[in-house]
Amino acid sequence: MSSEDLQNHYDDEIDLRDLALMLVEGWYWIVGAVVVAVAAAFAYLAITTPTYETQFRAVPASPANFAGFNLFDDFSIEPEDAYRALGNRLSSFQNFERFVEQNREQFNIGEDADLGRVFNGRLSIGGLTADRDGSMTLNVRYRYPEGEQGAEMLNSYVQQTAETVWNTLRSRFDEFNRAQITRLQSTLELQKESLQAEREEQLFLLEQAISVARRLEIEKPTTPQQFGRQPSGTEVIYANISGDGSLPLYFMGYQALEADRDVLHDALDKGLSNENIRETSQELQQRQRIVQQLITSRLEGVDEGVEPNHTERVVDVVEYAFPPAGPSEPRRALILALSLVLGGMLGVMLVFLSRFAVSLRSYRKAKG
């Protein structure tokens, strides 16, 4: 390589010392850019309303919380049912809208604000489906502007919604019991009608047997042998008068048959009852007592003997919402750090551009 080519090779290389010197000489560009960037960051922070974030967390409650609803085998409420009902209702815009209308003065919302956008922008709910391990954790996040008691509002929103969920479960239980009462009343009426028909049939048979016994002058229980209609040597033992034996009823004699008829008449007059009717009546009375206790708000496990806080009835609270230590947006430290970095980068670019402009003017003068 010739000395001229070697010289051109060195001229094309960038000396880091020259770059450092150039940056030192153009320090005012860097400082100025940093100052402008930091000032812009402070201006942005000044005009931007801080946004805070809080959250409420809960898991499904203990099955004991719903023992008052699970009194019969045909109706039950599981903790997961109440958990999902709460999460779904919290996710409902109509539910949020009603809550805002009832507590409008406590929200930092303009009169003409779009509640749909407020709902979508402020509230987010997760945990309605089980994780891979089967666990479920309801996570309700609420973002709110400065000047609003967001944590208190979120806890109040959850509590009011939980009360609505509990009352909905209570109404569902009440409606189910009323439907069962209607069913049991119909069943009881059919059972009594059936028993009535059976006893009327039995009375008819007894009346016929009494008539025959009187005509044959059979006053007391006898046997065909004693009555003279059975060959001698044959012994007959009459065990009952139900009519299912091998002998006709009139062999019991009209005295016993009339006593049986009178007892059956008294049973008809005093009321129809058998094992099935008693079981149906007992269940009907239980259902009616439950409905009455629901009307008077005295049902144990639903109205009495339960946690006063509806939130803790419906779910097991892991964490109530509480005021955060600082805003979630904007992040002042991050914005200021970014302004310093971006301002420094802009200043370095300005130094390079200014040096390029100077070298370009020198080149034009040398060519001219």
Q: What would the DSSP string read from start to end of 32-100?
A: HHHHHHHHHHHHHHHHSPPEEEEEEEEEE--GGGGTTT-SSTT----HHHHHHHHHHHHT-HHHHHHHH
State residue 238's pLDDT score: 44
State residue 286's pLDDT score: 93
Q: How many residues does the chain have?
A: 368
Q: What is the enclosing helix (H) or strand (E) of 141?
A: strand 138-145
Chain centroid, CA 363 distance in Å: 78
Q: Is 64 exposed, middle or buried (0-12, 13-18, 19+ CB in 10 A)?
A: exposed
275-295 and 150-215 helices, crossing angle to 10°: 150
Per-residue pLDDT of the chain (368 residues; tens, 9 = 90+): 455 554 444 455 556 777 777 767 777 777 777 788 777 767 766 666 678 899 999 999 999 999 999 988 889 999 999 999 999 999 999 999 999 999 988 888 877 788 899 899 899 999 888 777 778 899 999 998 888 898 999 999 999 999 999 999 999 999 999 999 999 999 999 998 888 888 888 888 888 888 888 888 887 887 766 665 545 544 444 444 444 555 788 888 888 888 888 888 777 756 778 889 999 999 999 999 999 999 999 999 999 888 899 999 999 999 999 998 877 566 667 767 887 788 778 877 877 787 777 777 777 777 76
- Each domain of the chain, given as residue ranges in start order, spans 180-295
Look at the block and give the residue holding tokens 């209609």.
Answer: 229
Residues 221, 272: contact at Cβ < 8 Å? no
Closest-CA residue to 153 (of 52, 60, 58, 85): 52
Q: Enumerate helices (H) and strands (E) in the chain, giving the number of each.
A: 12, 4
- Indicate the pairing of strand 315-319 with strand 51-60: antiparallel
SS3 content of the chain, % helix, strand, coil (to 5): 65, 10, 30
State residue 274's pLDDT score: 83
Q: From CA 209, how far away is CA 247, in angstroms rounded?
A: 11
Number of C-beta neighbours around residue 43 at 10 A: 10
- Tokens representing 170? 């209570």
Q: From CA 132, how far away is CA 111, in angstroms rounded?
A: 44
State residue 196's pLDDT score: 83
Closest-CA residue to 56 (of 150, 154, 166): 154
State residue 211's pLDDT score: 86
- Tokens representing 144? 């709110």
Q: Is 228 exposed, middle or buried (0-12, 13-18, 19+ CB in 10 A)?
A: exposed
Q: From CA 72, how far away is CA 277, in angstroms rounded?
A: 19
Closest-CA residue to 145 (of 177, 193, 191, 110): 110
Q: From CA 89, how far away is CA 95, in angstroms rounded?
A: 7
Residues 252, 209: contact at Cβ < 8 Å? yes
- Tokens representing 20? 């450092």
